[in-house]
Structure 1
Amino acid sequence: MTPLAAATILLALSAALLATGCQSTQDKSAELEAKGGTAFKEKGLKVRVASKDVKVLSKTVLSDENGAAVVVDLKNTTDRPLVTVPVAIDVTDAKEKSVFKNDDPGLEPSLVGVSLLGAGKSIAWVHDQVLATGKVSAVEVKPGKDKGGAPEKLPEIEVGPAKLVTDPTSGVAAEGKITNRSDILQRELVIYGVARQGDKVVAAGRGQIEKLAPGKDATYRIFFIGNPRGARIELAAPPTALE
């Protein structure tokens, strides 16, 4: 083989390898681009099948000059804790037309479900950011299947009694102390507050503690939709971090 022929063959092989490498890179880039197009898309809440483990005991729609809220009394009918229970709501007006659903992408977890529902326990879940497109009248509720995986020992969050105070800007609020009795740091801890006169829900709201270290306490503040004065105030703060 002449030197010229050998050089020609070597050049051809190099070109073939380069072409193969470029094609592989292009294919990989296309694959990553295709995945990237969907990997970071946020999806809104959608409960297709209602959970058989969670019973809706009652549901209430509230409204005043500050906005609208939904209160749902939920009961865990099983003998095991339920973790991350989705709660889909569809708020309607007097003509049964939908004016709000909590299915927008990016909503904080406490507005689309309950982080923990103890075995055989009940909780009054509150959504106080109902941005309705009309006058609210009723609500349909569909709790979904929990994700499971509760640890044997659950964190204990103690919510102290509430004292009503008047804020010059935002109106009546409930204040009290919340304590993390566990050894697990809690973040974005939500306190649900529901005011009842007899069995009737007359006001509801939520408070939030950004971070609560193990063994520490903090002061919570809950602003209400409705008027809580003279009513019995029920409080709940399910842990957000379980282990």
Structure 2
Amino acid sequence: MHLVTGNRFEDFSNAVGSLPASQVLARLSGEDALQDIVLGQGISDEERQILKLLVKACGGRVHDLAADDRRAGRSVCHKHYAQNQLISLPRPVGKDVFEADLLLDDRNEILSDHLTGCHLQGMLLVEATRQMFIAVGETQYPELDVPKDAYVVFDRIETRFETFAFPLPTVLRQTVTSTKTDRPGRVGFTAVVELTQPQGRVARSEVSYTIFDRAALQPKEEKLARLAVEAVMAQLGGTLTVAPVAAGATAQMVASV
């Protein structure tokens, strides 16, 4: 079997003998029949589709250990570009327990400026965790009347990295430990999110977060923003020179300075 990973994981490829996706595609296009390939991380959606088609045309097999290779999408991941959407749509696997697959494209924003050694960056795992718990809160609890046009506020993210994670099949598993619906327009969650690879668990996070109705939270956020600016001006002994109000902005921002 040949393990296929993203083109940027050169150190990993050199250490374990995996093949970059671009090299495999070139070999398949040149009628070099690779009969058995295993898909790792770092492969784009387009590469994944073409690899499957070409290997199948050669009579070979593609082993994709992801239960779902479709990204959860822009509205669920809160990311505009597909390469920055790290997870599949969460799926229920038990009471208050959900799983999703890590779907890493090596053009991801976190990898674009720093890639050292064979392992996946810790901040990449944290971002995948963030996308997971937001997705679970927004898509898996319709009975709680979770706000649709929402702000998500994190109260706590505590992550323990237990071992190196590598560009291999990865599952995120979230266990929701409590929900809170004591005030209208908001739903609170606490949860544990674990990332596992075939060799075992690589990271575990305890999280606490609240999903707010945007219309209810935005005025409070803007008030805090004004107070923060006033604190800067007070520290400097000056006053803020206010820019013209943009179309659609609230006059309240100018009047309070």
Structure 2-normalised TM-score? Answer: 0.25
Computing the radius of gyration from Cα coordinates, the structure with the larger value is 1
Higher strand share: 1
Q: Looking at secondary structure, tell me which structure has more helix per residue.
A: 2
